[in-house]
């Protein structure tokens, strides 16, 4: 005699042991709900972020006062790996945009 044949028959009614359409519908609904939760959790990692364009970054600095614009241009230049020119504060503010464009071409992103 095998172990399986020694087991008692299930004590559930026959209707409970069979799989009917309400159980299938509930399983599908739970699976869809789980898929939505997983999708909502991983969606931020899947969203494509556009690269910033240099012209947009420079245009955002145009309305700033000259002192603030110089500071922001220096920050951008430093992020791109460029170096500030010598004598930065000796006279009128220099035009940093050619240096920024050269650093942008060398690196290509922020």
pTM above 0.85, yes or no: no
pLDDT of residue 8: 78
Give how far the C-alpha of residue 102 lies from the chain's centroid of Cα atoms, to the nearest Å.
28
Tell me the residue length of the chain. Answer: 110
Q: Where are the domains of the chain?
A: 7-46, 54-107
Rounded Cα distance between 68 and 21, Å, is: 68
Which DSSP letter does residue 92 get? S
Element (H, E) at 26: helix 21-46
Per-residue pLDDT of the chain (110 residues; tens, 9 = 90+): 688 778 877 777 777 777 889 989 999 999 999 999 999 999 999 888 888 888 888 999 889 998 888 889 999 989 988 888 887 777 777 888 888 898 888 765 54
């Amino acid at each position: 005699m095998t172990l399986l044949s020694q087991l008692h028959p299930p004590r559930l009614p026959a209707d409970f042991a069979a799989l009917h359409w309400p159980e299938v519908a509930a399983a599908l609904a739970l699976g869809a709900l789980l898929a939505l939760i997983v999708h909502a959790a991983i969606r931020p990692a899947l969203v494509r972020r556009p690269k910033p364009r240099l012209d947009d970054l420079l245009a955002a600095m145009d309305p700033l006062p000259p002192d603030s614009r110089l500071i922001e241009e220096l920050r951008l230049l430093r992020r791109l790996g460029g170096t500030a020119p010598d004598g930065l504060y000796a006279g009128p503010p220099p035009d940093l945009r050619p240096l920024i464009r050269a650093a942008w071409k060398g690196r290509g992103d922020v």
